[in-house]
Amino acid sequence: MKRRQFEEILDECISAYLSGRRSVEDSLSLYPSIARELQPLLRAAADTADTLQELRPPPRVQERIRLNILRAASERAAARALTRHIDGFTTRADGRGHWFLAIPALAAATAAIVVLGLVVLPGGSSDPSTGTARVSVVERPEFSTHLTAARRQLDAIRTKTTNGEAVTQADIEALLGTTRGFAQSAEPSELAARDQVRLEQILEEQLALLGELSSKTYEEREEIEDAVAVTVSVAAVFGVAVTAPDLGDEPRATSDASPAATSNTGSDPAASASPFPTSSPSAGATSPGRD
């Protein structure tokens, strides 16, 4: 048998196996004259396919990413609708100009310019207390690296807690360092929409995880309280609405993304645990104290 012919048959058998139409044995009985040659290859292919098919994304990860994609899709749809609105007023199908249609379009264009002025231009600001989503097309690689690092640290800590392993002071401090790094690697106004969404999820998950940890350990209590305070501060700086976890002794407090929001650790994040050594977020939410 020619090699080409053999490859055709091998692929036909593999395809039949992958689609569930035939087992390896069925294929071998279908081609008895080449069964000896076919058998080891088909078995290897079936083993490889079976093993690789065992890999699956964790459902939590799949849903988190789905949410990110759908949010990004919504943002794109909104941006497109605005563009269409502006484009649509200038001409009509009958070719006549309709100057009065310019009014809503001009209003939309003005709004877009105001938003760009507030959000994209350097030094522009939007009030983080409103939690207004920022839109930027600027990608900040350093910030993305911090996001990835934070995600890994969170997942590593979560794995430890799931496996009943001890979460160490070093784990919390590493997380704290990464959280501080957010504010040092990007201005809030520079954040791309995708990074903003990822940051929101990370900060929310981080606070929930810290809350869980605080109920399990008293040894790293101080580090956890610091981490909560810093996380709340960073959330305030980036206009992210978060709920600080109940750490037990103190009454529950929430942050509504106001720069003055505090955690319920009893410490003022703007004073003692601010991620910014020289000024507090409450002093200027859009300029994280790097001047």
Partner 1 sequence: MSPNSIAQGERLIVDAARAGDQAALSELYTLYFPRVYRYILARTGNTYDAEDLAEEVFMKVLEAIDRFQWREAPFSAWLFRIAHNALISQRRKDGVRGRSGPLSDGIALDSQSPDDMVANRLALNEIMDAAQNLPEAQRQVITLRFAAGLSVAETARAMNKGEGNVKVIQHKAIAKLRETVRNKPKAREEETV
Closest CA to 37 of 16, 55, 54, 13: 13
Asked whether the beta carbons of 190 and 286 are under 8 A apart, the reply is no
Looking at the Cβ atoms of 123 and 164, the one nearer to partner 1 is 164
Residue nearer to partner 1 on the CB measure, 154 or 261: 154
SS3 string, 112-170, reads: HHHHHHHHCCCCCCCCHHHCCCCCCCCCCHHHHHHHHHHHHHHHHHHHHHHCCCCCCHH
* Closest to 209 measured CA to CA, from 161, 249, 254: 161
How many other β-carbons are positioned within 10 Å of the β-carbon of residue 97? 11
Site for partner 1 contains 54 (CB under 8 A): yes
Query: Which lies closer to partner 1 via its Cβ, residue 14 or residue 273?
Result: 14
CB-based contact 212:220 (threshold 8 Å): no
21 binds partner 1 (CB under 8 A): no
Q: How far is the CB of 22 from partner 1 (least distance, A)?
A: 15
Question: Which is nearer to partner 1, 66 or 290 (by Cβ)?
Answer: 66
Q: How far is the CB of 65 from partner 1 (least distance, A)?
A: 5
Q: Which is nearer to partner 1, 160 or 221 (CB)?
A: 160
85 binds partner 1 (CB under 8 A): no
Rounded Cα gap, residues 71 and 142, in angstroms: 23
Whole-number minimum distance, CB 40 to partner 1, in Å?
Answer: 6
Please give the Cα distance from 103 to 57 (Å, whole number). Answer: 50
- What residues between 100 and 159 interact with partner 1 by CB under 8 A? 148, 151-152, 155, 159
Is residue 74 close enough to count as binding partner 1 by CB under 8 A?
Answer: yes
Q: Specify the residue, 77 or 106, whose C-beta has the smaller distance to partner 1.
A: 77
Residue among 249, 251, 238 at smallest CA distance from 206: 238
| Interface with partner 1 (CB under 8 A) | 4, 6-8, 10-11, 14-15, 18, 40-41, 43-45, 47-49, 51-58, 61-62, 65-66, 68-70, 72-74, 76-77, 80, 148, 151-152, 155, 159, 194
